[in-house]
Structure 1
């Protein structure tokens, strides 16, 4: 015996790699792949009799399910944690589809979530003028460009269109894949800005950037549908809405009308979470439903968990650690952690440069499923991602 490894298999692709490495029979590989991958699925607010059906069915397949100890007596709804291999889930779903009490619909949602949780996801979003942006291969970098006097990191540096364009060119040369152009600060306590003032800031800069960098995707970072509409007409490629489509009722109509990609960011100001991950997933699901009903194509949406927006420092770290859970929404994931206050607090020095802390958070986020990171320090980020993308794809 040369050695023993305890192998972690994250998804079906890694299971297949390992089985082929061993030299298993081709038919055996197909049979063993779903038996090799373990999943734990948490379902919230299930009626007791439904939870008991799921538990008994999963137990009969050799899996496990945990419910509240009072569930057997009926009473209040319960959360349930269902645990097993993909094969056991496959067998469970067959049985649930023929059960009453809405279990057929629940089975479809579980199946979709399990499929979306696989690591090797690929997304192709359509940009205006016949272009596309590909996510899911190498991690993309969104370079932050604020043409504002009061943004927390680069406020006042790029107020003139030529300054903004030079910075955009510099970021692209350093490795930025997308430029995120914003004319309103989203930092806590920032002064509200009128549409006229926001447009006066971003549109001249956008025209200059579009002239010098015609093929580089540019997102317009705005709460305001009027600003988004004007920017898209002037050559912006997609919308980054920090409100999650909730600040301006016309934003969905604008995005649907242009057919452009849109970033839906979670933003529940005031917090008040009882179950952080469940509630943020639920809020994003609501936003996605609104987007779909308003005519935005499912394949044109990127989600952002909204680090720093209505969350404590500890909640931000929890989101980054558990970012992979957002894969169940089957959308590309954008992560914005760059130079935020919670990074400075964790480093123990609010006045120190936060580049290293920002890179640490971004790298962990990428390992946990981020497809694109929104950053200020582009050159350092590109170097870090060159390494982390190699690690992610290693076996």
Structure 2
């Protein structure tokens, strides 16, 4: 099970870690931390040293009720960060967290290797064309609505069954465009209550029937800290617990703020399973 990142084949049959880097002022955990070049480079270097295979760069917060950011503003944030990172760490495999095709296009043309789309093309009907044209791996996440409306759209009859249908349709659409490398993300925290998040997590093995790599992004989310009656700053231990369980349920990529701890999960998981 491999994905082609700018000619480099990455084997995701053994789990990998994707480090999160947000160049936004308002992301739920690290918003505003990385405001200048030194801070960005220092964090990228730390994540790479700690073992991240991918760095996921975002310039538009997708937390619930996030502020709207114009397409041009998103591009003006993301492109300088891509250029900076690849200038200093040219081997970095950059994933770009965006649901806009123009942002995806500009990012790929400036050296990004993967597009991570929270909307799986549903918020921009040109996204699939861009992914197909540039032939990059595409992460498709489950969500309803948009970041401003998603938490009002949590009415499901059978959430996992509906998610599997959602992904099946989108996989077929992507294949019709000739898109080869697909990764699926259940979208924990997106258009789901805390209880629904845990139901999806409990039944995570069912996503194996889609026969695609599974990315799990639960790092420091409210499903953890609200369940533990704590806060986002104290959610690392809970994140580590769920990341470990996710690996046992088939996760192939852990998308995290804390790379070192996630790599420790992967290392010990591999000791047992390889």
TM-score with structure 1 length normalisation?
Answer: 0.66
* TM-fit CA distance, 1:348: 1.8
In structure 2, distance between residues paired with 1:352 and 1:229: 34
Q: Choose the corresponding residue for 1:184, options 43, 47, 60.
A: 60
Is 1:387 aligned to 2:268, yes or no? Answer: yes
What are the ranges of 5 or more consecutive residues in structure 1 without an aligned counterpart?
A: 1-122
Is 1:278 aligned to 2:161, yes or no? Answer: yes
Q: Is the 8 A contact 2:159 2:196 kept in 1?
A: yes
Is 1:136 aligned to 2:8, yes or no? Answer: no
In structure 2, distance between residues paired with 1:318 and 1:155: 29
Q: Which has the larger radius of gyration?
A: 1
Equivalent residue for 1:296?
A: 179
The 5 Å alignment of 1:182-221 reads 182-221=58-97
Q: Is the 8 A contact 1:149 1:156 kept in 2?
A: yes
The 5 Å alignment of 1:41-120 reads none
* 1:13-47 deviations in Å (ceiling 9; x for gaps): xxxxxxxxxxxxxxxxxxxxxxxxxxxxxxxxxxx
SS of equivalent to 1:208 = helix
* Shift in alpha-carbon separation, 1:250–1:385, aligned structure 2, 3 A: same
Cα RMSD of the aligned pairs, angstroms, is: 1.2
Equivalent residue for 1:170?
A: 46
Q: Is the 8 A contact 1:162 1:208 kept in 2?
A: no
* TM-fit CA distance, 1:370: 0.2
In structure 1, distance between residues paired with 2:243 and 2:109: 32
TM-score with structure 2 length normalisation?
Answer: 0.94
* TM-fit CA distance, 1:295: 2.6
Q: Choose the corresponding residue for 1:227, options 99, 103, 109.
A: 103
In structure 1, distance between residues paired with 2:68 and 2:273: 41
* TM-fit CA distance, 1:378: 1.1
* TM-fit CA distance, 1:380: 1.4
Q: Which runs of 4+ in 1 moved over 4 A?
A: none
* Shift in alpha-carbon separation, 1:154–1:250, aligned structure 2, 3 A: same
In structure 2, distance between residues paired with 1:178 and 1:352: 23
* TM-fit CA distance, 1:161: 3.5
Count of matched residue pairs: 267
Equivalent residue for 2:2?
A: 124
* TM-fit CA distance, 1:216: 2.0
Q: Choose the corresponding residue for 1:368, options 239, 244, 249.
A: 249
Q: Choose the corresponding residue for 1:260, options 136, 148, 156.
A: 136
* TM-fit CA distance, 1:162: 3.5
Equivalent residue for 1:115?
A: none
Equivalent residue for 2:123?
A: 247
Q: Choose the corresponding residue for 2:28, options 130, 133, 152.
A: 152
Is 1:317 aligned to 2:198, yes or no? Answer: yes
* TM-fit CA distance, 1:241: 0.3
Is 1:237 aligned to 2:118, yes or no? Answer: no
* TM-fit CA distance, 1:215: 1.4
* TM-fit CA distance, 1:213: 1.6
In structure 2, distance between residues paired with 1:324 and 1:391: 19
Is 1:330 aligned to 2:211, yes or no? Answer: yes
In structure 2, distance between residues paired with 1:179 and 1:360: 22
* 1:207-251 deviations in Å (ceiling 9; x for gaps): 011112211211010011101000000000010001111111111
* 1:187-220 deviations in Å (ceiling 9; x for gaps): 0011111111111111111101111221121101
